[in-house]
Structure 1
Amino acid sequence: MNYRGFPMTTVKYKKNFLTNVICKIDFDPELSIKNEPPSKFQEKIKKDFPHLVENELNEYKTSFSKNENVIESFRAPLYVFKDSKTKAVKVINLSYKYLIIEFFQYKSFEEFVECVRNVIDVFSELYEISEFSRLGLRYINEIKINKGNPFDWTNLINSSLINATNDFFYNDRSNICRAISQIILDYDHFKMNFNYGLYNSEFPNKISRKDFVLDYDCYTANIEKKDSYEYLNKFHEKINEEFEKSIEEGLRKEMEGENE
């Protein structure tokens, strides 16, 4: 343990509460896929993502004309590549301005980042993109406990993350529908948006179930493709560090954690 009581060693878990793990890259200039479907990209990734669904985005563009802001709406294609036609656990979303790789069942960072690397390498080569306007990595943990007081997270969640809600609204807790907080952290070379709290899977109803969200989103701007994998590792290390600070031994036991 370090001086704040948080584990210094890396913990590997047999179970997790992750519902979404997401890598997103934004790029500028925009891709010309509005009129040209990404058939070559599809061919390169079809082994792991054989199923394609074509959707549309409702987009808005603001221009300045005759001393007025003019907002124009238009529809843009969104190509969704899935590993399964029925219940996909890995998905790619490709639009004219971003690429998203998302896992709904997460086993390890090694597996995830290998998939991300393969997809980004193919994408960058085909579209000759060597720099991203934004790179992000996001981990969403939706912690659901089947029994107990929905406001009592003793030995599960760091008390600092729940005390403000419990103390300030102690006499009014039965009326709470949702209690989410956000902290934005700047680590010089990248930032993290940390959202946490009683998200309530039955919202807008009042809280009756024991649900807690830990949502970590690391990102940086204007990054070269060759540096992106180093930053994904940095993001993962920071997210892992913050996650360990956010939880207590009871939750580690629930996830069957083991020191590496």
Structure 2
Amino acid sequence: MMDYSSICYKNNFLNQVIVRVDFFHFIQTNMVFDEIIEKEILKIFPRRGKDQIIRFNSINVVLDPKNNNLQNANNEIAEGIQREYFTNDGGNKLILSNKFIIFEINNYVRFEVHRQWFQTIMLALFQKNRISATRTGIRYINIFDTSRIKLQKKFFTSEVASSLHINLVEEDMPRLIRSMHMAEYRIDEMTMNFRYGMFNPEYPNFLKKNDFVLDFDFFSNEIIDSSDVILQLLNKGHDEIQSLFEQSITDSLREVMAFEQVS
């Protein structure tokens, strides 16, 4: 895989980056919202929102009395909390609950900056609790809004550009309401889904604008019990997503985004 780490754009169309980690076990409320963990969160997300009471399916794993080598998972309902935290400008959000943690980055700077956020908070969370993650993922959503750019097929490689309809004719029947495609990749034991096309923010209404999306979702369903391994997976996901993004666009779009080399 080529190294794209030195690539940066003055103008990008990155709408949102999402990092999500799902926990195998239900973590008790006093443990997941421990003072030490919240202290690290508030350094980055100083605005704390209201608590929301959530009922979760809590899995208790027990040994089968007839065979100690087998395990049964019993579902029970557990009541917990979901709490939101925001940066001062309100542009970025962290959602923490007894069963998952989600980072929603809407004002993206650079991966190196946000990686430090993930590392600091995940380390505090794992140091205080014995956690096993059942799913870990990172997702980049790029939206090419026609209010910002006049879309052209030459901006994308031929396969991606095939789902872009430049001229929308309202009289045509049947009327187009969405044109989305997906390619799925296996990378070692991880998965990357690449969705691209005209996503239609007003779906299922008729498609009125040819807004275009490049949506990359990289994740693993492997059991992970270390914050270091989670960070390694996020690093891997970022690199794979950046590589596929660069393989999906052309120099014509790079000129629009004002490509620059970062030293």
- Structure 1 length-normalised TM: 0.79
Which of 34, 52, 55 does residue 55 from structure 1 map onto? 52
3-state DSSP class of the match of 1:222? Answer: coil
- Structure 1 CA distance for aligned equivalents of residues 77 and 130 of structure 2: 29
The residue aligned with 1:65 is none
Question: Does residue 242 of the first structure (1) align with residue 241 of the second (2)?
Answer: no
Which of 14, 17, 22 does residue 18 from structure 1 map onto? 14
Deviation at residue 74 of structure 1 after TM alignment: 7.4
Question: Does residue 156 of the first structure (1) align with residue 133 of the second (2)?
Answer: no
- Structure 2 CA distance for aligned equivalents of residues 9 and 81 of structure 1: 30
Change in 2 beyond 3 A, CA 1:83/1:202: same
The residue aligned with 1:136 is 137
Deviation at residue 148 of structure 1 after TM alignment: 8.3
Q: Which runs of 5+ in 1 are unaligned?
A: 63-70
The residue aligned with 2:38 is 42
The residue aligned with 1:79 is 83
For the 8 Å contact 1:23–1:137, the answer to whether it is kept is yes
Q: Deviations over 1:112-160 (max 9, x none)?
A: 101111111111112233x4222111111111133888xx632222221
Aligned letter for 1:157?
Answer: F
3-state DSSP class of the match of 2:15? Answer: strand
3-state DSSP class of the match of 2:182? Answer: strand
Q: Deviations over 1:40-78 (max 9, x none)?
A: 42233222212222224465689xxxxxxxx99876421
| Worse overlay, 199-208 or 236-245 | 199-208
- Structure 2 length-normalised TM: 0.78
The residue aligned with 2:100 is 98
The residue aligned with 1:233 is 235
- Structure 1 CA distance for aligned equivalents of residues 175 and 93 of structure 2: 38
For the 8 Å contact 2:119–2:227, the answer to whether it is kept is no
For the 8 Å contact 2:91–2:106, the answer to whether it is kept is yes
3-state DSSP class of the match of 2:108? Answer: coil
Deviation at residue 173 of structure 1 after TM alignment: 8.0
For the 8 Å contact 2:4–2:243, the answer to whether it is kept is no
Q: Percent identity?
A: 26
Q: Deviations over 1:170-199 (max 9, x none)?
A: 995881111112222111231111111101
Give the alignment of 1:159-198 within 5 angstroms: 159-163=158-162, 175-198=175-198
For the 8 Å contact 2:32–2:125, the answer to whether it is kept is no
3-state DSSP class of the match of 1:205? Answer: coil
For the 8 Å contact 1:18–1:105, the answer to whether it is kept is no
Q: How many residues align?
A: 243
3-state DSSP class of the match of 2:203? Answer: coil
Deviation at residue 213 of structure 1 after TM alignment: 0.8
